Amino acid sequence: MTRLSALTAICCVALVMTIGCRRASLNSACPHDERLRTYAQWHSQIVFPYIAAEDKLRHIKNNYDRVTDGSSKSEVIQAFGPPDFEEELYPKVQNQSCMYEFEYFFEKPADTVNEFKDKRITVFFSQSGKVRWMVGNVGLPDKGEPGRRQPN
């Protein structure tokens, strides 16, 4: 399997996991960090095609080794800067804690999902708020694992 095929398969799994867990309205059980933008706020502030400043990707590449599997949200923000937006991933099982993800987009040609053309890094956090998995398509290695269970 080529690296691109593997990335596509992983992104599809992540997409299914994420879409299956999202809800349209905010739930008080999964509070949003008011210091961070939501997708709707980010979307209203950009124009498509979106291309981030070159120094954004350079800054993240230069600090990528500072973030590891198990880093906290604040450690990610200290290393990479604030995400474009944070999203809540609602649990499918009752009485289970929420998970969160940070999105860092570098290119997004259109207002549709395109796993090949959307250049980004996604940071998934465990229920305990620690980095569980970092995946992207900008030439940086993935960190962590999508399906590994972490203690709360």
Under 8 Å between Cβ of 39 and 118:
no
pTM: 0.79
- Using alpha carbons, select from 113, 107, 86, 110 the residue that is nearest to residue 12: 113
Q: Which residues pair with 119 in a beta bridge?
A: 107
**Distance of alpha carbon 143 from alpha carbon 73, whole angstroms:** 15
Look up residue 149 and give its two tokens.
């269970």
Q: What string of pLDDT tens digits covers the 152 residues of the chain?
A: 455 444 444 444 444 344 444 444 344 688 999 999 999 999 999 999 999 999 999 999 999 999 999 999 999 999 999 999 999 998 888 888 899 999 999 999 999 999 999 999 999 999 889 999 999 999 999 999 887 555 44
Go through the domains of the chain in sequence order and give each one's CATH number.
Answer: 3-24+34-140 (3.30.1450.10)
85 burial (CB, 10 Å; 0-12 / 13-18 / 19+) is buried
User: DSSP string covering 109-136, please?
Assistant: -SSS--TTT-EEEEEEE-TTSBEEEEEE
**Distance of alpha carbon 99 from alpha carbon 22, whole angstroms:** 10
